[in-house]
Amino acid sequence: MSKIIECKNLDYSYHNGKIKTPVLKSLNLEVHQTESLAIVGQSGCGKSTLLNLLGGMAQPSAGKVVINGSDLSQLNEEEITLLRAQHLGFVYQFHHLLKDFSALDNVAMPLLIRGDDTQTAFKKSSKLLADIGLQDRLNHRPSELSGGQRQRVAIARALINNPSVLLADEPTGNLDAKSAKEVFGLMMELNQQQKSALILVTHDMDIAQKMDRFLTLENGTLNL
């Protein structure tokens, strides 16, 4: 099974004036196609930072991130943006939906941005929303949806491009127990259908133990 993401000797530090705070230290990671991986660890240990590095939204202090064979350190900003659009989907604890747009608009947006035909984009988005039980909420704005429904829309938006990897940062952390269970189940189901890799940051060990494997981020590195 081929590697879709690889980190080699990854370092990352925050700088505040002359003060340097190491966060990640010589971190190595391989994630293969269709694999589901949870990353757990205490608050502030660098889990979200690692996810940002994997998504090309931050640059490491040292080492490199390779996505689908492309070394991000060798790409310019435009090339990273294109790679991100082609290969990555993102889901966050707070859905980050566009508040003035409908559920259908939000899901279709990535397709429209990359230049897909409008009719095709909305047809594909409508089907995906129907598949996840939101066929009656297509024209509702985020403020008219429950927390669980908003997160479902966010997951649909992240997966509409059939990404190679779904990066999820505490995707159920802002939901009640019932909604969290439903959203996690949906994410796993859709991810398996699309045969993509899933990397999920969570504090919830029940969720972590349902993944193919989980790693603990501690003292700047990943441990079994």
DSSP 8-state assignment for residue 101 = S
Closest CA to 157 of 88, 207, 211: 88
User: Per residue in 84-95, pLDDT tens?
Assistant: 888 888 887 776
Question: Does residue 125 or residue 43 have the better pLDDT?
Answer: 125
Give how far the C-alpha of residue 220 lies from the chain's centroid of Cα atoms, to the nearest Å.
Answer: 21
Per cent of the chain over pLDDT 90 is 37
Give how far the C-alpha of residue 78 lies from the chain's centroid of Cα atoms, to the nearest Å.
Answer: 20
CA 30/CA 5 separation, integer angstroms: 6
Domain ranges for the chain: 3-223
User: Per residue in 46-81, pLDDT tens?
Assistant: 888 999 999 888 889 899 999 988 999 899 888 888
Give the CATH fold of the 3-223 domain: Rossmann fold (3.40.50)
Residue 29 has pLDDT above 90, yes or no: yes
CA 131/CA 188 separation, integer angstroms: 14
DSSP run (H or E) holding 215: strand 213-218
- List, in sequence order, every residue forming a beta bridge with 14; answer none if it has no partner: 21
